[in-house]
Amino acid sequence: MKKRMISGIQSSGTITLGNYIGAIQNFIELQNEYELFVFIADLHSITVPQERKTLQHNIRSLAALYLACGLDPEKVTIFIQSEVPQHTQLSWILECSTYMGELERMTQFKDKSRSQADSNMNASIGVGLFTYPALMAADILLYDATFVPVGEDQKQHLELTRNLAQRFNNKHGDTFIVPEPIIPTAGARIMSLTDPTRKMSKSDPNQKSFISLLDPLPTIAKKIKSAVTDSDGVIAFDPENKPGLSNLLTIYSVLTKRSIADIVLEYTGCGYGKFKGDLADIVVQTIEPIQQRYQTIYNSELLDNVLDAGAQNAQRLANRKLTKVQNKVGLGRKRK
Ligand code: AMP
Ligand code: TRP
């Protein structure tokens, strides 16, 4: 039997080249070997303020992009998180055995709550932003997933998921599979194009810092060509001292499946201009066919059918697990 795998992406903006390289590209490769579940984490995206119409569009858009990037609905269960209510139900149960201290240590919470507070001095940080990792644990544990393909930034959340699973199993007997992250060896952390010391993020207010999969192609080329590098003009991979150029070399390497050493050799003696120009072409060639498929899929009935079938399949499994958990905890009523 194939091992099961699950992953999700938040619907909080159009996905970036970082999401594509750190997550989606791997889903595509893994879909033949594993029983894969991929969802749209819309409940996670409301941990920060969202506008209704934009959120609705982003959810459908992410689903369409999954298909346009090459996820095959014949092989993969694709669904929307909020359409499977068991996620929130299990997350409450897990929250009750998650410690405050564990959540306080989460770096994504620290970063996001800080940036929300920065953008509005009086901002109130929602409790959901704090408890979010328990929802993520529920997303995973409901499906008996053995592996979770994610980028580097999710490692800490996965560690918590493992602890919560073990804690529950110790107290109530074997219930959950303790999952393992699968983090790509290259491209697990694609950096911002304007500040290469920070990760590329779709929620960055500076549009030039990230490449969205739906940016117009000339804009994509322009963003690559104007990416921040350094002034010594030497093509070399040195993330410490040359973070900008090293990030571009990583992107080049993952998209062409060539080794970094090989690429450095090819461009030795060339200026950054030639290297960036070639990379811009490579990125555009990767994204162009995705954009061509995207529009048709976004407006199609096929997309609704895929999401309906996905929700149905996910609910079936999730319900079985949730009932077991509720029973072990002693919730509800025992019939006479
Ligand atoms: P998010 O956009 O935060 O929902 O992330 C969805 C997936 O993309 C997760 O597996 C992340 O680890 C991955 N990801 C997000 N940003 C990057 C990045 N800059 N580089 C590599 N992977 C990323
Ligand atoms: N928290 C993840 C992120 O911000 C998205 C996510 C939510 C996820 N639930 C998940 C990823 C379950 C893997 C498995 O990137």
Whether ligand 2 lies within 6 angstroms of the CB of 19 is answered as no
Residue 111 in contact with ligand 1 by CB distance below 6 A: no
| CA 86 and chain centroid, separation | 21
Phi first, then psi, for residue 145 (nearest 5°) are -75, 135
Burial 1-35 (b: 16+ CB within 10 A, else e): eeebbbbbbbbbbbbbbbbbbbbbbbbbebbeebb
Assign 180 to helix, strand or coil. strand
Cβ atoms of residues 177 and 146 within 8 Å: yes
Query: Which residues have a catalytic role annotated?
Result: 112, 199, 202
Dist CA 6 CA 197 (whole Å) = 29
Residue scoring higher pLDDT (164 or 204): 164
The rounded Å distance from CA 10 to ligand 2 centre is: 7
What confidence score (pLDDT) does residue 123 get? Answer: 65
Cα separation, 332 vs 40, in Å, equals 30
Residues 6+ apart with CB under 8 A from 68: 290, 291, 293, 294, 297
In this structure, the number of other CB atoms found within 10 A of the CB of residue 114 comes to 11
Q: What is the mean pLDDT of the chain?
A: 94
Give the contacts of 109 (CB within 8 A, at least 6 positions apart). 103, 129, 130, 132, 133
Instruction: Pick the more confident residue, 115 or 77.
Output: 77
pLDDT value of residue 188? 86
Q: How far is the CA of 26 from the centre of ligand 2 (A)?
A: 15
Instruction: Dump pLDDT digits (tens) for 208-245.
Output: 999 999 999 999 999 999 999 999 899 999 999 999 99
Whole-model pTM: value is 0.94
Q: Which residue has the higher pLDDT, 188 or 42?
A: 42
Confidence check: pLDDT of 120 > 70: no
Residue nearest to atom 9 of ligand 2 (CA): 136
What distance, in Å, lies between the first and last C-alpha atoms of the chain? 38
Q: What percent of the chain has pLDDT over 70?
A: 98
Compute, in degrees rounded to 10, the torsion defined by CA atoms 59, 185, 129, 313.
50
CA 177 – CA 180 distance, rounded (Å): 9
8 in ligand 2 pocket by Cβ < 6 Å?
yes
What is the second-level CATH architecture of the domain 4-183+301-329? 3-Layer(aba) Sandwich (3.40)
Residue pLDDT, tens place only, 141-167: 999 999 999 988 999 999 999 999 999
Distance 245 CA to ligand 2 centre (A): 28
Q: What is the pLDDT of residues 243-273, one digit of tens each?
A: 999 999 999 999 999 999 999 999 998 889 9
Ligand 1 within 6 A of 18 CB?
yes
Instruction: Tally the residues of the chain.
Output: 336
136 vs 156: CA distance, rounded Å: 11
Residue nearest to atom 8 of ligand 2 (CA): 8
Question: What integer pLDDT is reported at residue 122 of this predicted model?
Answer: 46
Label residue 315 exposed, middle or buried (CB < 10 Å: 0-12, 13-18, 19+): middle
The sign of the dihedral angle between the CA atoms of 123, 127, 130, 132 is negative
Task: Please check whether residue 309 is in contact with residue 302, taking contact to mean a CB–CB distance below 8 angstroms.
Answer: no
Q: Strand locations in 167-232, DSSP E?
A: 180-182
Atom number of ligand 2 nearest to Cα 151: 15
CA 268 to centroid of ligand 1, rounded, Å: 31
Strand order across the 147-149 sheet: 77-80, 35-41, 4-10, 147-149, 180-182
Query: Quick check: do 4-183+301-329 and 207-295 share a fold?
Result: no
Q: State the pLDDT at residue 108.
A: 87
The tens digit of pLDDT for each residue in 289-310 reads 999 999 999 999 999 999 999 9
Asked if residue 336 has pLDDT above 50, the reply is yes
Report whether residue 144 contacts ligand 1, using a CB cutoff of 6 Å: no
Q: Is the CB of 247 under 6 A from ligand 2?
A: no
Nearest ligand (C-alpha, residue 203):
1
> Which ligand is nearest to the Cα of residue 212, counting in written order?
1
pLDDT bracket for residue 317 (50, 70, 90): very high
Ligand 1 proximity of 148 Cβ (cutoff 6 Å)? no
Question: Whose Cα sits closest to atom 6 in ligand 1?
Answer: 9
Query: Is the shortest distance between the CB of 41 and ligand 2 below 6 Å?
Result: yes
Mean pLDDT, range 21-34, rounded to an integer = 94
For residue 256, how far is its CA from the centre of ligand 2 (angstroms)? 27
Is residue 200 within 6 Å of ligand 1 at its C-beta?
Answer: yes
In the DSSP assignment, the letter for residue 15 is: P
Quick one: pLDDT band at residue 121, thresholds 50, 70, 90?
Answer: very low
**What is the pLDDT at residue 119?**
66
> Encoding tokens for residue 78?
């694709």
Q: Please state, for a pLDDT cut of 90, what percent of the chain lies above it.
A: 85
Domain boundaries along the sequence of the chain:
4-183+301-329, 207-295
What is the CATH code for 207-295?
A: 1.10.240.10
- What is the tens place of the pLDDT at every residue in 30-74? 999 999 999 999 999 999 899 999 999 999 999 999 999 999 999
Q: Which of 61, 153, 247 to mutate to test the pocket of ligand 1 (most atoms within 8 A of CB)?
A: 153
Query: Which ligand approaches the C-alpha of residue 44 most closely?
Result: 2
